[in-house]
Amino acid sequence: MTMRAKPGATRAVPQAEFTLRVNNTEYPLRVDARVTLLDALRDRLGLTGTKKGCDQGTCGACTVHVDGKRVLSCLTLAAQCDGRDVTTIEGVGTAEQLHPVQEAFLRHDGFQCGYCTPGQIMSALGLLSEDRAGTPEDIREYMSGNICRCGAYENIVAAIREAAGDHDETL
């Protein structure tokens, strides 16, 4: 990554030049070094599946994976992701072949308006890879950073339980 001052600026705004690798595609970028990963994804790359809710780290709508770990893209600088692997909801399943977690959300009505859903699914994938979906309480705890204003929590938990291989019909 290279950093340089914007030509002609009275007060130098540091620019960052680097390559963002998102969903296995490389995007060369030159942006204000203060641009968040969320804004780079949505506004520069047109990957609008990742949603902006609070823009301050409290709702989870912007959850993506960086090097396989879930992160809040509104609290991550794009330039910090130079040389790292970013995965967004666009990189999960396809319209023709959904990921099993996406299918489980559909089957269990794990959403209403759908605004929080990309973040919920990215977080659910993280939870499953962390092997933390042992009980409904675990799922609630480890998904607690993802807010759903429609209150679809019970169905989200049911979807994640199914994706984890737990088919308890009492939910």
- Report if residue 112 touches ligand FES, rule: CB under 6 A: yes
Q: How far is the CB of 143 from ligand FES (least distance, A)?
A: 12
Pair 47, 57: CB distance under 8 Å: no
3-state secondary structure of 125: helix
Of residues 115-144, which lie at the interface with ligand FES (CB under 6 A)?
115-117
**Binding of residue 149 to ligand FES (CB under 6 A):** yes
Residues counted in the chain? 171
User: How far is C-alpha 141 from the geometric centre of its chain's CA atoms?
Assistant: 18
**Under rule CB under 6 A, residue 148 binds ligand FES:** yes
Q: What are phi and psi of 16, to 5 degrees?
A: -115, 135
Nearer to ligand FES, 30 or 149 (CB): 149
**Angle, helix 117-129 to helix 100-107, in steps of 10 degrees:** 120
Residue 163 within binding range of ligand FES, rule CB under 6 A:
no
- Structure-block tokens of residue 160: 């994640």
Please identify which residue in 59, 77, 139, 163 interacts with ligand FES, judged by CB under 6 A: 59
Residue 101 binding ligand FES, by CB under 6 A: no
In degrees rounded to 5, what are phi and psi of residue 89? -60, -25
Closest approach, Cβ 153 to ligand FES, in A, equals 9
Tell me the C-alpha distance between 55 and 58, whole Å.
8
Q: Does 48 bind ligand FES (CB under 6 A)?
A: no
Rounded to 5 degrees, what angle do the CA atoms 89, 142, 67 make?
45
How near is the Cβ of 146 to ligand FES at its closest, in Å?
A: 9
Interface pick for ligand FES out of 29, 41, 62, 64 (rule CB under 6 A): 62
Give the interface with ligand FES as residue ranges (CB under 6 A): 52-55, 57-62, 72, 74, 111-117, 148-150, 152
